[in-house]
Every structure is written in C-alpha cells, then in structure tokens.
C-alpha cells in the first residue's frame, strides 16, 4: 500500500516540469492557449480614475430588464408539470417543444416554412458557430469574415485553423465588392473559400445593417462561388423602430445559408441558449458533431414555456424603446460635447456606437477616458491583427448604462480628448 502511494507520488513528480504548451493541439495554440493571456487588455481599464466609473463595455442586455420573475415562474411550471423529462437526458438536437416554437416564429419572420428539424439548440450563438465550424471546416480552409467583427467568433473560426480573410464594411454593411475581390484572390492561389461569416443586422461592433441590395448581391456571389453563408442574427430582434431588411436565410429560402440566433441579447446571456437554423439535412449533419449530449432540457423547457405564453414578444416590445432611448441619449451627448472630435453613424438597433476619433489615436483617447472614469474597448480588438488594423475607433455599448450616465459620457469624453491632445 505504502509502496503504491510512493509510486503514485513519483509518477506525479514526472509531470511537475512539463509545460502545458508542449502538450497542446495546434488548434489550442492558434487561440493563444498556453501563452500569457491578453484577454483582459481589451476590457480592463488602462488607468485608475477618481470618478465613479461609467461602463460602456460588454454588449449585454440591461440587467434591469431581465424578466427574472417570469423565468422563475416558467422554471416552477416545468418542475411542477414535467420534472421527470426536464431532469433527464434530452437528446442532441434539444427539446422539440422549443424547436417547434422557434420553427413557428422564424417561419413567420423569415417567410420560409420551417419545422422542428430545421433547428439545433446549442450553448448560445457562440456554441452554434463553433458547431458549424466543427462540421464544415477543415484546417486550412479559407473563410471570409468582416473586419471588424465580434472577437468571439473570430477566435472560434481561428480555433478551427481556418485561413481567415477580413473584409471591410461601411454604413451599408459588408462590402460585397470586397468579398468578390477576396474570392478572386483566394482562387488565384487555388483556394476555394468555404464559409462567409456575417452579422448583417446591427453589427457588432459597428452597428451597421446590410442593405437589401447588398443582401441580394451577396447571396448571388456566394452561390456562384459555392460559399456557405453563416448568418449571425444575435441582435436582429433588437431594432429600435423598424425591423432590418429580410434575413439572408429568408431571401435564399433557406438555401446556402445557416442562420444562428440566440436568447442572450433578447432575454439573458446567462441562459446560454442559442440555435442554428438550416436545411434539415444540414442540421442533421451538425447534430452528428455534437458530442456534449445536448444542453439542459430543464432550461429549454422553461424557455419554451416563457416564449410560448407570449412573454418573449411582450418583452421585446418593452425593451426596444429602452435601447432606442439609450442610443439617442448617448448620440446626443456625443454630438453636443464632442462634435469636433468624433464621427459616428447612429445605428437603427442593437447595442453599439462605433465612434471614429478625429485627431488623437483611439488608444490615447481610451487611456485618457479611463482617467475621466469611462471604460470601453478600443476598435483594435475587433480585428485579427490588433496592432495594425485599427487605431481610430472606439466601441461604446449603451445597453447597460443608465440614461443619466449616458448623458454624462459626452462631457467626460470631451475632457478625455482634450487631455489626449495635451489641452486638459
Ligand atoms: C455578433 C455576436 N454573435 C454571437 C455572440 C455570442 O452570443 P451568445 O451569448 O449567444 O453565445 C455575440 C456576443 O457578444 C455577438 O455579439
């Protein structure tokens, strides 16, 4: 016995000096595993401030709007009525009742007949994007993404060892001409682009929405080159007044497009529930590369109960004007106090203002803003090549700050610009 314990301790000793890097996969190394992390630098405050902090950081819903009581009631209902199934394994596709509810809702919104088999429920939009990459990407496959883009998705795609090209967007969303150029360039090197990832509505971080004409053009171009479109609709339901143009999925009648949705921005990110919507044979293929036995049947039933009783639509009706007003107040504050220092376009939905700094670099402004008690990420973190790609933009998320705080951003940012220019 004592011998055995000594042997085990000695075995443990053999591992003590082994560096984790020496064991990691290429995919893990590609996303920086085993190296000192820089994850904090995009979000952390570069300096201390004396003033109470106003945080314009993460793109998350206003916690004050979270329908806690309704979710509690839905969970109670499920546990009272259906505890046995809710607490069993639920299968890889996810609770059929929620997939049926999504099929009904999305058939109406996308104008395409959908069924439960058109949906795979997943661990948020992020888990959905990961599953699509897992099923369709080979290491080295060419993928086009927007530049800038949601950093989490860029990381996911890099984690699948894709050969990524970022193409620019403007106020009308992704530049289809730039996509055409990227396709030609890839083909010149004998590469077939496999996937194009886009956030067409109220884009993160720019707030831009892809115009209808560009949606048509993009679908035609991608069909001609057999590029699968991964359409991320994380913010689509959060329009201020008018819905965005029809989805790429709807316009193509569900062909050549996989659409990802999520409850994170419309209910709460802590639910960690999202979905992939696609042609049933594509969805079936995706389900084969899910090895985690699906997500919580309890939670999926509770969401189905919540959404099925009309509460989701009522909640959306309630939060849209809240975010519209927050965006108005922040925009007005910036125009009034920072007009000569910034340029931005007001989005028509979502959580973000993408602000161009005129004069000092974004990094200098961010540093100075921290001293004024403002926290937000710079634009560089939304590009693959952080050091090189963007020195001029700030992303201001207006979703969680109060109206009073948002009105205070303009004066503080003005002081930050003056400080950054040595005039403070
Ligand atoms: C465009 C976009 N897609 C996906 C996600 C991930 O969301 P989820 O919480 O659904 O995984 C985010 C989160 O910020 C996002 O901005």
Measured from the CA of 274, which atom of ligand 1 is nearest?
Answer: 10
Residue 1 in domain: no
User: What does the pLDDT read at residue 385?
Assistant: 80
Residues 240 and 341 in one domain: no
Q: Is 274 in the pocket of ligand 1 (CB under 6 A)?
A: yes
pLDDT of residue 39: 55
Pocket test for ligand 1, best of 152, 155, 270 (most atoms within 8 A of CB): 152
CA atoms within 13 A on the CB side of 215: 19
| Last residue of one domain, picked from the residues 272, 291, 309 | 309
Residues 241 and 152 in one domain: yes
| pLDDT at site 134 | 97
CA of 336 relative to ligand 1 center, distance in Å: 32
- Where a domain ends, among 309, 327, 358? 309
Both 356 and 227 in one domain: the answer is: no
Same domain, 342 and 261: no
253 and 104 within one domain: yes
Verify whether ligand 1 is closer than 6 Å to residue 204 (CB atom): yes
Q: Are residues 402 and 275 in the same domain?
A: no
Residue 25 lies in a domain: no
What is the rounded CA–CA span in Å between residue 176 and residue 215? 9
- Contact predicate 184/150, CB 8 Å: no
Any ligand 1 atom below 6 A from CB of 94: no
Rg of the chain over all Cα atoms, to the nearest angstrom:
23
Residues 119 and 242 both lie in one domain: yes
CB 159 near ligand 1, within 6 Å: no
**Tens digit of pLDDT for each residue in 246-279?**
999 999 999 999 999 999 999 999 999 999 999 9
| Ligand 1 touching residue 125 (CB < 6 A) | yes
By most ligand atoms within 8 Å of CB, the mutation choice from 122, 150, 258, 273 for ligand 1 is 150
Protein residue closest via CA to atom 13 of ligand 1 = 59
pLDDT of residue 423: 81
* CB of 294 closer than 6 angstroms to any ligand 1 atom: no
Give 378 Cα–ligand 1 centroid separation in angstroms. Answer: 18
Atom of ligand 1 minimally distant from the CA of 262: 10
pLDDT tens digits, the chain, 424 residues: what are they? 678 999 999 999 999 999 999 999 999 999 999 988 665 556 566 556 778 899 999 999 999 999 999 999 999 999 999 999 999 999 999 999 999 999 999 999 999 999 999 999 999 999 999 999 999 999 999 999 999 999 999 999 999 999 999 999 999 999 999 999 999 999 999 999 999 999 999 999 999 999 999 999 999 999 999 999 999 999 999 999 999 999 999 999 999 999 999 999 999 999 999 999 999 999 999 999 999 999 999 999 999 999 988 999 999 999 999 999 999 999 999 999 999 999 999 999 999 999 999 989 999 999 999 999 999 999 999 998 866 677 899 999 999 999 999 999 999 999 999 999 988 6
Tokens of 100: 């049926």
Query: Do residues 351 and 324 make contact, with C-beta atoms less than 8 angstroms apart?
Result: no
What range defines the domain where residue 134 resides? 68-309
pLDDT for residue 42: 61
Ligand 1 within 6 A of CB of 124? yes
Helices (H) and strands (E) in the chain, counts: 16, 13
Find residue 146's DSSP bridge partners: 167
Pocket test for ligand 1, best of 153, 204, 207, 234 (most atoms within 8 A of CB): 234
Residue to mutate, 42, 66, 122, 125, ligand 1, most ligand atoms under 8 Å from C-beta: 125
| Ligand 1 atom 3: residue of nearest CA | 234
Question: Residues 298-301: contacts with CB within 8 Å, 24+ apart?
Answer: 298/75, 298/78, 298/79, 298/86, 298/87, 299/271, 299/273, 300/90, 300/94, 300/95, 300/97, 300/98, 300/121, 300/273, 301/78, 301/82, 301/85, 301/86, 301/95, 301/97, 301/98
Q: With a threshold of 0.75, does the pTM exceed it?
A: yes
Whether omega before 69 lies within 30 degrees of 0, making that bond cis, reads no
205 lines ligand 1 (CB under 6 A): no
Q: Domain check: are 294 and 391 in the same one? A: no
Centre of ligand 1 from the C-alpha of residue 315, in Å: 19
> For 82, phi and psi rounded to 5 degrees?
-145, 35
For residue 271 and ligand 1, the question of a CB distance below 6 A is answered with no
Cβ of residue 106 lying under 6 Å from some atom of ligand 1: no
Instruction: Provide DSSP, 210-263.
Output: --HHHHHHHHHHHHHTT-EEEEE-TTTT-BSSSPPSPPHHHHTTTSSEEEEEES
45 and 96, same domain (yes or no): no
The answer to whether position 29 is within a domain reads no
* Overall number of domains in the chain: 2
Final residue in a domain of this structure, among 271, 287, 309 = 309
CA distances, 304 to each of 77, 98, 105, 167 (Å): 11, 5, 12, 38
CB 381 within 8 A of CB 389: no
Residues 93 and 227 in one domain: yes
Distance of CA 310 to the CA centre of its chain: 25
Tell me if 232 CB under 6 Å of ligand 1.
yes
CATH code, 367:
3.90.1150.10
Q: How far is the CA of 125 from the centre of ligand 1 (A)?
A: 5
Q: Quickly tell me which residue has 């109670």 as its tokens.
A: 76
Give one DSSP letter per residue of 374-419, joined into a string: EE--BGGGGSSSHHHH-SSEEEEE-SSS-HHHHHHHHHHHHHHHHH
């Amino acid at each position: 016995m004592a011998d055995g314990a000594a042997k085990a301790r000695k075995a443990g000793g053999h591992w003590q000096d082994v560096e984790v890097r020496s064991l990691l996969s290429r995919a893990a190394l590609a996303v920086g595993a085993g190296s000192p992390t820089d994850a904090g630098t995009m979000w952390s405050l570069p300096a201390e401030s004396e003033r109470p902090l106003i945080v314009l950081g993460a793109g998350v819903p206003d916690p004050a709007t979270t329908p806690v009581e309704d979710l509690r009631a839905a969970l109670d209902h499920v546990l009272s009525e259906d505890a046995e199934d809710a607490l069993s394994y639920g299968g890889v596709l996810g609770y059929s009742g929620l997939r049926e509810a999504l099929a009904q809702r999305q058939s109406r919104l996308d104008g395409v007949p959908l069924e439960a088999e058109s949906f795979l429920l997943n661990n948020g939009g992020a888990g959905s994007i990961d599953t699509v990459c897992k099923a369709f990407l080979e290491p080295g496959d060419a993928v086009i993404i927007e530049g800038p883009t949601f950093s989490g998705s860029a990381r996911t795609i890099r984690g699948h060892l894709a050969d990524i090209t970022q193409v620019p967007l403007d106020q009308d969303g992704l530049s289809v001409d730039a996509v055409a150029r990227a396709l030609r360039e890839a083909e010149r090197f004998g590469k077939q682009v496999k996937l194009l990832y886009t956030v067409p509505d109220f884009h993160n971080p720019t707030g831009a929405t892809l115009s209808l004409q560009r949606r048509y053009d993009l679908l035609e171009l991608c069909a001609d080159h057999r590029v699968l479109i991964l359409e991320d609709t994380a913010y689509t339901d959060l329009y201020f007044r008018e819905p965005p143009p029809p989805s790429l999925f709807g316009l193509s009648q569900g062909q050549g497009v996989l659409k990802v949705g999520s409850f994170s921005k419309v209910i709460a990110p802590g639910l960690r529930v999202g979905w992939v919507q696609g042609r049933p044979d594509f969805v079936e293929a995706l389900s084969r590369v899910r090895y985690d036995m699906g997500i919580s049947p309890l939670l999926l039933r509770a969401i189905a109960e919540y959404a099925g009783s009309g509460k989701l639509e009522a909640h959306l009706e309630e939060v849209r004007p809240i975010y519209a007003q927050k965006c108005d107040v922040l925009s007005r504050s910036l125009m009034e106090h920072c007009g000569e220092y910034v340029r931005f376009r007001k989005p028509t939905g979502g959580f973000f203002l993408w602000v161009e700094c005129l004069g000092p670099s974004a990094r200098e402004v961010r540093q100075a803003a921290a001293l004024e008690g403002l926290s937000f990420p710079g634009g560089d973190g939304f590009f693959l090549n952080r050091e090189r790609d963007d020195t001029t933009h700030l992303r201001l998320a207006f979703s969680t700050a109060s109206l009073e705080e948002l009105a205070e951003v303009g004066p503080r940012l003005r002081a930050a610009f003056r400080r950054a220019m040595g005039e403070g």
